[in-house]
Structure 1
Amino acid sequence: MAKCDLSIELDDPQALHAGGSTISGVVRVRVDKNVETKGLVVTSGWATHGRGNVTSGVFNSKTLFTGEWRSGDTPEYRFELPVGSWPPSYHGNYLNIDHNITAQAKIAWAFDPKASQTFLMRPTGGPESAAWKDPAASSNKLGCVLFSIFSIVFCVVFFGGMIAAGGPSIVFLAIAIVPLLVGLGYGFKVLLPRYLLGNVECSLSPNQVSPGEEVKGELVFKPRKTVSINAIKLTFQASERVVSGSGSNRKTHTNVFFEKEQTLVGETTLQPGQEKRVPLAVQLPGDAPYSVDLTDNDLIWNVLIRIDIPRWPDWTKNIAIAVVPSGKPMQPAAASAGTVAEATSQAVSPVGQEAEVSPSGITFTETAQHFWELRNDRESVMELAGAVSGLTFDIDAFVERRLLYSGDDDPHVFKDGYAVWAHFTEPPLPMVLYVPHDLADEFEQIGRDLWKGRGTIVGWDAQHRRLQIKLENSAVI
């Protein structure tokens, strides 16, 4: 049994913290037995969670106390730590990034007690603060290097083996098929489209943009032959790409959360020698999340250009775009809890997620926003809860922890069910979810990840300032 328990209370747990600023709070210790600690250390850092392997980092740490705690003591230690400037807070489907304050008591010959609290961070530095590299460029360079190494090794082994064997053999001829197939694949994808279209030039600029800005470019080519095309299309998309496992169990998971397709040129016939110029332009959403390049956890924006040629390999080009912070400082009001939802829209959640509309004509996002703005006004929030009680919505929520409520403690708890604390995606409105028995396994498996289901508003928990929602038996993840 632990000799002490730790808890952390942030001074403003719902605030949106600017990158490079400071965060403060208090670490509380409850001592059950006399214990000597080599250090009560508090740390500011970040970590990913979701479907990919966990990646984490530490910005700063401080030792708040070293010495002995006596049984029954409840000491408190204030702290103030710098907030990191990257990566940004983000809550998606496959990828989540949380900034956190962690406290740990180092105790000899025992498990070190720990506690952690998450908070939201929005970068305020310019593009230079984003640790981003062009994945397409990296991939091309890596591909060239690997192909060169493969070619050299192949030539040495193949021709050296032939000389040693005194001539060609079935084994060496079979090995020769591998580079032949590679060459055929390259010719099929690159050389055949070029045979009809000639050299195709395609570029976009700038390749680093901020949310709400526009990227422009041009597609230029001069066909060598008369060629009919179905269309020239541009697909603008954003995706979460994460990797789980290692070695032979390593798997890549991709979730496209934003996609917009444009037909630039319809079905037509192109004449040889006549230059074709096609303007390109894409507008980033104002709430576009920033590009993220972390170990096994990436958020990628890219533009795919395709010339669709019937009964012939299509010409394609994939161009990566870095969505980076603008460098504009946060407005003073944006750092307060009452307006965090508005300020975090571009830094926390994926774009393009539409909320479910209730029969009353309002969405849950709108409802949550009203509760978020009024949550410190007890009279107004109770009046609002009475007005929307009974409305049913589709809900996205991040689970925090299970409660030990029983039916006697809270009349909303299902028989053989339980309650969990959670918060909405955006704004991060605290909620109590009443879980029926047949959904218990789903909540056990999902841990602290994103849960999606359907529920009915039943009231407001004034003590803990949380919206109470009773889940439907038919809710699904």
Structure 2
Amino acid sequence: MSNLSPLSIQIKDEKRAYYPGDEITGTVIAKPQADTICRKLTIALNWRTGGMGNVDEGKPQGEITLFSGTLRAGVPQEFPFSLTVPPGPLTYHGNIVYVNWYLHAQADVPWAFDPTVRREFILASPQDPVPLDLGPSYKPPKHPSSNEPTPWWLIILLILAAAVATWFFPCCLFIIIPAVIFWAIPEYRKWLQVKKLGKRVLHIEPQQAYAGESIEVSFQYQATSRVDLEFISAELLGQERVESGSGSNRKTHKHKIFGNEEFLLRDAIVTPGIPGSHRATLWFPKDAAPTFAASNNWVEWSVIFRLKVRGYGVWEETHPVTLWPTPGVEHFKSHRDPDDFDEHEDTDDEDV
């Protein structure tokens, strides 16, 4: 047990929210109950997720050492600090995903538990556009490529492989063959409908936008035979997605935060040899939550492209897009006074 009572953090002129590049100044207060050797007393900034998913946590940023030496019994000591607020990820309070920021102070005490304390603060979208961090797993979206369905020869090959497997393992006859057939039939129907449309080109421009802006989806093709198109559509989908548990108990949870489907074409007969071109505009809501990507928690946006030839199944492609935080727009539920933010002694089971 440490002779150092819980640390505390006081923030000078605390604001309701901070922006990337702001300075947070304050004091770490230590009240030793006995003479205590402190290898080092540090403070840093860090973010941590909460909600339904496994916890993701960023690397400490801007860490500074405030003190190293002996803390005298009964003598409260104050250690001033000043840290620069990083460029994200921004504070986000969603439905199953939370991103919270903390000041994290820790004393390294030999042969005892290291006293630690965290004080929450809000990192908000700046008033002017600046480069922001969207999370450690974020990757810019790639331009849509032709995502051809499984070719017919591969479908037949898998059916033959299943037949051979059941020859050697007859007990699996009523498991392998039905499973392959149930997969092969829709794949074959999908291949047929795309084959009829000939070469196709899907464009999404731009692939990165701000809330309140729009993206344009266009689809070009030149059919090789007569096609009875039931519809062509594009849906802009926003969702929170988390992974919880591990191993065989790992589960995926999703929560839809936005969905808007626009039809590029409905009930049309496509004539072979005549190029077709259709487009639609998809709008992000003005208060849309920005993209966030970590190992177990995501806020993600995508365009789902769907095409249905009458009498066949729906062909579907999903393409990610990036939504950047709109300057000055907040994405957290909390409207508390700064004095209401609690200090936390570190534990591993805190989710929110």
Note whether the superposition's TM-score is higher than 0.5: yes
Is 1:44 matched with 2:45? yes
TM-superposed deviation, 1:177: 6.7
Gaps of 5+ in 2: 341-348
Q: Structure 1's 430 and 84: CA in aligned 2 closer, same or farther, altered over 3 A? A: closer
2:275 and 2:220 map into 1 onto residues whose CA distance is: 7
**Quick one: which of 85, 89, 102 aligns to 2:91?**
89
Question: What is the DSSP-based 3-state SS (H/G/I as helix, E as strand, rest coil) of the residue aligned with 1:31?
Answer: coil
2:232 and 2:168 map into 1 onto residues whose CA distance is: 46
1:310 and 1:115 map into 2 onto residues whose CA distance is: 62
1:191 and 1:258 map into 2 onto residues whose CA distance is: 31
Deviations along 1:373-401, one digit per CA (max 9) or x if unpaired, are xxxxxxxxxxxxxxxxxxxxxxxxxxxxx
Residue 241 of structure 1 aligns to which amino acid in structure 2?
R
Q: Is the 8 A contact 1:192 1:313 kept in 2?
A: no
The TM-score, its normalising length taken from structure 1, stands at: 0.59
TM-superposed deviation, 1:104: 0.8
Q: Structure 1's 116 and 140: CA in aligned 2 closer, same or farther, altered over 3 A? A: farther
The TM-score, its normalising length taken from structure 2, stands at: 0.78
Question: What is the DSSP-based 3-state SS (H/G/I as helix, E as strand, rest coil) of the residue aligned with 1:184?
Answer: helix
TM-superposed deviation, 1:78: 1.0
- In structure 2, the partner of 1:232 is 232
Is 1:59 matched with 2:56? no
Q: Is the 8 A contact 1:243 1:250 kept in 2?
A: yes
Give identity over the alignment, percent. Answer: 26
TM-superposed deviation, 1:181: 6.0
Deviations along 1:146-199, one digit per CA (max 9) or x if unpaired, are x9xxx9xx99xx9xxx9xxxxx96259989979966983683364122133333
TM-superposed deviation, 1:280: 2.0
Q: Is the 8 A contact 1:219 1:280 kept in 2?
A: no
**Quick one: which of 168, 171, 176 aligns to 1:170?**
168
Is 1:133 matched with 2:139? yes
- In structure 2, the partner of 1:75 is 77
Q: Is the 8 A contact 2:143 2:204 kept in 1?
A: no
Q: Please, what is the CA RMSD of the aligned residues?
A: 3.8
Q: Is the 8 A contact 1:13 1:119 kept in 2?
A: no
Residue 66 of structure 2 aligns to which amino acid in structure 1?
L
1:296 and 1:233 map into 2 onto residues whose CA distance is: 30
TM-superposed deviation, 1:306: 1.4
Q: Is the 8 A contact 1:233 1:305 kept in 2?
A: yes
2:318 and 2:234 map into 1 onto residues whose CA distance is: 10
Q: Is the 8 A contact 1:53 1:297 kept in 2?
A: yes
TM-superposed deviation, 1:239: 0.8
- In structure 1, the partner of 2:335 is 427
Q: Is the 8 A contact 2:263 2:280 kept in 1?
A: no
TM-superposed deviation, 1:80: 0.7
- In structure 2, the partner of 1:21 is 22
Q: Is the 8 A contact 1:100 1:117 kept in 2?
A: yes
Q: How does 1:64-463 map onto structure 2 within 5 Å?
A: 64-122=66-124, 126=130, 129-130=133-134, 132-134=138-140, 170-171=168-169, 184=184, 187-188=187-188, 190-325=190-325, 343-345=328-330, 348-349=331-332, 425-428=333-336, 449=352
TM-superposed deviation, 1:129: 4.8
Q: Structure 1's 49 and 277: CA in aligned 2 closer, same or farther, altered over 3 A? A: same
1:254 and 1:140 map into 2 onto residues whose CA distance is: 27
Question: What is the DSSP-based 3-state SS (H/G/I as helix, E as strand, rest coil) of the residue aligned with 2:34?
Answer: coil
Q: Is the 8 A contact 2:40 2:108 kept in 1?
A: yes
Q: Is the 8 A contact 1:88 1:121 kept in 2?
A: yes
TM-superposed deviation, 1:61: 0.9
1:103 and 1:269 map into 2 onto residues whose CA distance is: 67
2:34 and 2:93 map into 1 onto residues whose CA distance is: 39
Q: Is the 8 A contact 2:141 2:321 kept in 1?
A: no
Question: What is the DSSP-based 3-state SS (H/G/I as helix, E as strand, rest coil) of the residue aligned with 2:18?
Answer: strand
Deviations along 1:329-362, one digit per CA (max 9) or x if unpaired, are x7xxxxxxxxxxxx342xx24xxxxxxxxxxxxx
Question: What is the DSSP-based 3-state SS (H/G/I as helix, E as strand, rest coil) of the residue aligned with 1:194?
Answer: helix
Residue 317 of structure 1 aligns to which amino acid in structure 2?
E
Question: What is the DSSP-based 3-state SS (H/G/I as helix, E as strand, rest coil) of the residue aligned with 1:5?
Answer: coil
Question: What is the DSSP-based 3-state SS (H/G/I as helix, E as strand, rest coil) of the residue aligned with 2:311?
Answer: coil
1:126 and 1:239 map into 2 onto residues whose CA distance is: 24
TM-superposed deviation, 1:126: 4.1
Deviations along 1:25-78, one digit per CA (max 9) or x if unpaired, are 111122223322111111111111111111112112111112222332221111
Structure 1 range deviating more: 291-300 or 269-278: 269-278
Q: Structure 1's 192 and 14: CA in aligned 2 closer, same or farther, altered over 3 A? A: farther
Q: Is the 8 A contact 1:85 1:123 kept in 2?
A: no
Q: Structure 1's 97 and 129: CA in aligned 2 closer, same or farther, altered over 3 A? A: closer
Q: Is the 8 A contact 1:127 1:324 kept in 2?
A: no
Q: Is the 8 A contact 1:88 1:97 kept in 2?
A: yes
2:6 and 2:131 map into 1 onto residues whose CA distance is: 41
Gaps of 5+ in 1: 142-146, 163-167, 331-342, 350-424, 433-445, 450-477
Question: What is the DSSP-based 3-state SS (H/G/I as helix, E as strand, rest coil) of the residue aligned with 1:191?
Answer: helix
Q: Is the 8 A contact 1:89 1:122 kept in 2?
A: yes
2:185 and 2:13 map into 1 onto residues whose CA distance is: 57
Q: What number of residue pairs does the alignment pair up?
A: 325
Residue 214 of structure 1 aligns to which amino acid in structure 2?
S
